């Protein structure tokens, strides 16, 4: 185990990491922080007491981290700008990083408390939608573990991702009041609050030197208050900060209005201002052009850049070396307005010449694209944009004017090209293309998997790639092996450590391959299977408790957890389940190895089709689980409110991981990696990072099906007709008929008609085209699962060969190829 601060013998109640020292610290916190004794303390009081005790032990590294960034003149830090950070529960991962689980467990046991129960009781901050937000959190973990100085900048949403409840099979959204009980991990830094302007107009004036300058007079000002969350690296010695901004009124209370009896008006300003950071927009891929959303984006970006400039000035460094202090990563286009804001701050705020400011800006920024779906690329109507950010619109026009001048010089006469590359889409309504702003304002642009980057270069951003090929590069996503193996799967982690030692935890790519030597060892295999079975039993117990569904731990656990979206094709999965059900019904006596098919994931509240798919899955589950002919051999369950915490129970329990998006649609996927490193074998298409995972694990250890990305294009070009597939494949035809005829809706033929009609007449994501191949693959999976030794070997090799998919490797790639930073800890 790593040396945490606790291995030093020290008797300070805030730093001592021995069991007696931790016990005293918890008791002190209980008494002095929550005003309780062990007799009166509630579960929440115990949690807080333990959390503050753990936080204290992070503060040495934390303070050193802040000093590092604000004192070292020659240091380049990453500023990771992201509208989402899905950080997950904090207590367990911080205890792991500090290496104090054992003494803390012992200390709590002497107080009659169970560490695991306290860890399980945490309400996680759901400050992200899905993959993009969780990736940002994995990267924060890896940067701290590798010793890359970094600040994560984002939004302190009062309400995070909604809580999903299920009523009669339908998704019902509830507000996520994650702050209701307080959040012990954050430190509010009022002294670093900054004012952010919105709206208003611009004017020109001559400065003292006689130069024409522009001034923005915002109509409104909002206070951005930083909330700092420590992100400690594994080993407990290096700590970065996640700085999340909340919006407050500059003047929270208008005494004049109050005195004249207008109580509403007295607090109006407060209410309006706080709206900015009130709630996370719950749409993942398709964006919504809402003015509040642009307000949120600008709010956190402006506050963050001003925070960075404050550091630059504190260091006493000139502004034109700003890029040597910060490498600013734009996580998708959500923070792309930063390009215009930095130009405004340098040019308007500090009187820098445009060319110099532009050179600094483009050396600072780099941009990660996370999607190939055209509807997900943000575009803001010019009128809306200019109403909220009039000065930024002018700056974007000027950036565009200069940029198009270069384009026209390089490709004279090609006006079509200029129109395609322009930062402004001239189609009605005229709008600002945020992805174009991000590309033009950055020195590097990356996709998140090899296939995705290739498709970006050859399709979505073809013209930019031709113009500036040197900007484009790939950084395949990764996940942190700390949270997604060491923490969430302690049994497997201990088993791995017993064979290859503990170095895999922070040297996953280098070490985990050593496991391969044991892939055929019968003793090791038996141990491996035993652990998987225990993990499945743990998930079954949860399903029984919360859903009343009994899952057989001896069944194959086949899982699809992710946002519900048509391109991810949960409906393909449920069609397969229906086909398997029909096969059992046709011949109930035939042999059928037990299979549990599990789903989980949230749908955007306004996404009609996705919500209906959730309902369909529930209805199918009800029929199948209750059918005596099936006799429990096939079970279907929907795990509600999928989030990081639930994921930590689900990934370790899966035998089969469903990664079945239509090829060319999923940028990378990261759930695929989380399942894989917990020993699940992937059943998937050649999409996103699946392609590279398959290369690593070997094709014999991956269940492949479906069209490839070029084949998808080809079939579409020739005129894709989904009905032809339904007509010629009786298994598919029957599955669709069953849904249409009301077999899963008590005879109601209307409720699922939109799904069936959409599949038959449109099927944009080609579910029907891939169905037969999926069914064939299913048969191969079942056959492989029956051969336990073979399947266990596949499972072990999936873990052993996925070293590349550690987010540590991704961060090293960013450091080397994009940020030009050398990690301090390897």
Contact positions vs ligand AZC (CB under 6 A):
129-132, 135, 284-285, 370-371, 448, 477, 666-670, 688
**265 noted as active-site residue:** no
Choice among 123, 134, 532, 562 that is catalytic: 562
**633 noted as active-site residue:** no
Angle between helices 101-109 and 19-32 (to 10 degrees): 60
**Beta carbon nearer to ligand AZC, 370 or 482:** 370
Q: Give the residue among 826, 202, 46 at the shortest CA–CA distance from 510.
A: 826
**Beta carbon nearer to ligand AZC, 171 or 792:** 171
In angstroms, give the least distance from the CB of 328 to ligand AZC: 18
Separation of first and last alpha carbons in the chain: 18
Residues with Cβ within 8 Å of residue 634, at least 6 apart in sequence: 577, 580, 581, 584, 592, 594, 595, 596, 597, 624
Tokens of 826: 């390897």
The 10 Å CB-count burial string (b at 16+, else e) for 159-172 is: bbbbbbebeebebe
Choice among 379, 482, 532, 568 that is catalytic: 568
In angstroms, give the least distance from the CB of 814 to ligand AZC: 13
**562 noted as active-site residue:** yes
Choice among 370, 565, 618, 809 that is catalytic: 370
Q: Is 46 helix (H, G, I), strand (E, B) or coil?
A: helix
Residues with Cβ within 8 Å of residue 127, at least 6 apart in sequence: 84, 85, 86, 87, 133, 154, 155, 156, 157, 160, 161, 244, 280
Q: Give the residue among 569, 88, 666, 82 at the shortest CA–CA distance from 368.
A: 82
Separation between Cα atoms, residue 342 and residue 348, nearest integer Å: 10
Residues with Cβ within 8 Å of residue 282, at least 6 apart in sequence: 129, 161, 162, 173, 602, 604, 605
| Phi, then psi, of 308 in degrees rounded to 5 | -65, -40
Q: Quick check: 104 and 91 in contact, CB under 8 A?
A: no
Residue nearest to ligand AZC (CB): 131
In angstroms, give the least distance from the CB of 759 to ligand AZC: 22
Q: Is 610 helix (H, G, I), strand (E, B) or coil?
A: helix
CA 673 to chain centre: 13
Q: Give the residue among 365, 503, 403, 435 at the shortest CA–CA distance from 81.
A: 365
**563 noted as active-site residue:** yes
**Beta carbon nearer to ligand AZC, 56 or 687:** 687
Tokens of 91: 């207590």
Separation between Cα atoms, residue 143 and residue 815, nearest integer Å: 10
**571 noted as active-site residue:** no
Separation between Cα atoms, residue 767 and residue 760, nearest integer Å: 10
Choice among 227, 471, 618, 674 that is catalytic: 674
**Beta carbon nearer to ligand AZC, 658 or 792:** 658
**728 noted as active-site residue:** no
In angstroms, give the least distance from the CB of 509 to ligand AZC: 19
Tokens of 761: 């007449």
In angstroms, give the least distance from the CB of 475 to ligand AZC: 10
In angstroms, give the least distance from the CB of 284 to ligand AZC: 4
Separation between Cα atoms, residue 493 and residue 516, nearest integer Å: 15
In angstroms, give the least distance from the CB of 716 to ligand AZC: 21
In angstroms, give the least distance from the CB of 671 to ligand AZC: 8
The angle at the Cα of 382, spanning 380 to 385, to the nearest 5 degrees, equals 65
CA 763 to chain centre: 27
Tokens of 218: 């915002």
In angstroms, give the least distance from the CB of 666 to ligand AZC: 5
**Beta carbon nearer to ligand AZC, 131 or 295:** 131
In angstroms, give the least distance from the CB of 478 to ligand AZC: 10
**Beta carbon nearer to ligand AZC, 331 or 798:** 331
**Beta carbon nearer to ligand AZC, 375 or 750:** 375
On the 0-12 / 13-18 / 19+ scale of CB atoms within 10 A, 135 is buried
Helix (H) or strand (E) holding 217: strand 212-217
Q: Give the residue among 23, 59, 57, 29 at the shortest CA–CA distance from 44.
A: 29
**Beta carbon nearer to ligand AZC, 94 or 670:** 670
DSSP state, residue 345 = I
In angstroms, give the least distance from the CB of 232 to ligand AZC: 23
**Beta carbon nearer to ligand AZC, 130 or 601:** 130
Q: Quick check: 539 and 653 in contact, CB under 8 A?
A: yes
Separation between Cα atoms, residue 463 and residue 472, nearest integer Å: 12
**Beta carbon nearer to ligand AZC, 237 or 573:** 573
Q: Quick check: 657 and 559 in contact, CB under 8 A?
A: yes
**Beta carbon nearer to ligand AZC, 129 or 535:** 129
Choice among 363, 563, 633, 804 that is catalytic: 563
On the 0-12 / 13-18 / 19+ scale of CB atoms within 10 A, 778 is buried
Among all residues, which ones are annotated catalytic? Answer: 370, 562-563, 568, 670, 674
């Amino acid at each position: 185990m790593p040396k945490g601060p606790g291995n030093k013998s020290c008797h300070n109640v805030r730093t001592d990491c021995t069991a007696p020292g931790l016990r005293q610290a918890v008791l002190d916190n209980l008494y002095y922080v929550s005003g309780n004794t062990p007799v009166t303390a509630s579960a929440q009081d115990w949690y807080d007491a333990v959390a503050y005790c753990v936080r204290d032990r992070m503060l040495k590294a934390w303070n050193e981290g802040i000093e590092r960034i604000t004192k070292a003149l020659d240091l380049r830090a990453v500023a990771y700008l992201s509208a989402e950070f899905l950080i997950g529960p904090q207590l367990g991962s911080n205890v792991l990083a500090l290496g104090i689980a054992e003494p803390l467990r012992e200390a709590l046991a002497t107080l009659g408390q169970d560490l695991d129960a306290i860890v399980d009781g945490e309400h996680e901050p759901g400050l992200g939608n899905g993959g993009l937000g969780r990736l940002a959190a994995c990267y924060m973990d890896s940067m701290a573990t590798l010793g890359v100085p970094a600040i994560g900048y984002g939004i302190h949403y009062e309400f995070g991702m909604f809580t999903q409840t299920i009523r009669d099979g339908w998704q019902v959204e509830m507000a996520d009041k994650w702050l209701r009980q307080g959040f012990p991990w954050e430190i509010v830094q009022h002294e670093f609050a900054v004012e952010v302007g919105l709206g208003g107009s611009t004017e020109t004036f001559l400065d003292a030197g006689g130069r024409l300058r522009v001034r923005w007079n915002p109509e409104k000002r909002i206070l951005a208050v930083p909330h700092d969350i420590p992100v400690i690296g594994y080993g407990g010695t290096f700590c970065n900060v996640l700085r999340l901004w909340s919006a407050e009124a500059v003047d929270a209370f208008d005494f004049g209005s109050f005195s004249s009896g207008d109580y509403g008006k007295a607090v109006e300003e407060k209410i309006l201002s706080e709206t900015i950071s009130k709630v996370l927009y719950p749409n993942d891929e398709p964006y919504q052009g809402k003015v509040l959303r642009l307000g949120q984006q600008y709010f956190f970006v402006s506050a963050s850049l001003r925070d960075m400039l404050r550091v630059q000035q504190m260091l006493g460094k000139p502004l034109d070396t700003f890029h040597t202090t910060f490498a600013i990563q734009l996580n998708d286009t959500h923070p792309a307005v930063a390009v215009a804001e930095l130009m405004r701050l340098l040019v308007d705020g500090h009187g820098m010449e445009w060319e110099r400011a532009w050179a600094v800006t483009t050396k600072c920024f780099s941009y990660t694209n996370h999607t190939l779906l055209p509807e997900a690329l943000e575009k803001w109507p010019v009128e809306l944009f200019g109403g909220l950010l009039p000065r930024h619109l002018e700056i974007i026009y000027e950036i565009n004017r200069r940029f198009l001048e270069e384009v026209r010089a390089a490709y004279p006469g090609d006006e079509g090209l200029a129109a395609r590359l322009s930062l402004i889409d001239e189609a009605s309504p005229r709008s600002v293309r945020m992805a174009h702003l991000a590309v033009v304002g950055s020195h590097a642009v990356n996709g998140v998997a090899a296939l995705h980057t290739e498709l970006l270069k050859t399709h979505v951003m073809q013209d930019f790639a031709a113009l500036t090929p040197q900007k484009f590069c790939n950084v395949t996503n990764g996940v942190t092996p700390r949270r997604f193996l060491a923490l969430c799967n302690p049994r497997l982690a201990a088993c791995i450590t017993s064979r290859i030692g503990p170095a895999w935890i922070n040297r996953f790519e280098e070490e985990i391959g050593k496991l391969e030597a044991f892939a055929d060892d019968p003793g090791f295999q038996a141990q491996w299977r035993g652990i998987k079975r225990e993990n499945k039993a743990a998930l079954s117990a949860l399903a029984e408790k919360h859903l009343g569904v009994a899952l057989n731990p001896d069944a194959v656990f086949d899982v699809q957890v992710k946002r519900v979206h048509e391109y991810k094709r949960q409906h393909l999965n449920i069609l397969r389940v229906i086909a398997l059900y029909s096969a059992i019904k046709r011949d109930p006596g035939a042999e059928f190895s037990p299979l549990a098919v599990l789903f989980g994931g949230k749908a955007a509240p306004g996404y009609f089709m996705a919500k209906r798919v959730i309902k369909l899955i529930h209805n199918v589950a009800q029929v199948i689980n209750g059918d005596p002919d099936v006799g429990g051999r096939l079970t279907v369950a929907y795990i509600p409110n999928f989030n990081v915490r639930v994921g930590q129970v689900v990934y370790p329990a899966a035998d089969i991981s469903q990664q079945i998006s239509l090829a060319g649609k999923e940028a990378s996927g990261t759930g695929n990696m989380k399942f894989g490193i917990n020993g699940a074998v992937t059943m998937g298409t050649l999409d996103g990072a699946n392609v590279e995972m398959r290369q690593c694990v070997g094709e014999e250890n991956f269940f492949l099906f479906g069209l490839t990305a070029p084949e998808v294009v080809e079939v579409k070009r020739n005129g894709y007709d989904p009905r032809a597939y339904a007509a010629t494949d009786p298994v598919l035809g029957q599955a669709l008929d069953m849904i249409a005829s009301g077999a899963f809706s008590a005879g109601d033929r209307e409720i699922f008609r939109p799904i069936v009609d959409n599949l038959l007449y449109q099927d944009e994501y080609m579910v029907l085209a891939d169905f037969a191949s999926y069914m064939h693959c299913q048969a191969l999976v079942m056959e492989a699962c029956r051969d336990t030794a073979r399947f266990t070997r596949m499972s072990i090799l999936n873990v052993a060969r996925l070293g590349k998919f550690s987010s540590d490797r991704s961060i090293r790639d960013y450091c080397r190829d994009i940020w030009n930073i050398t990690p301090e800890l390897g």
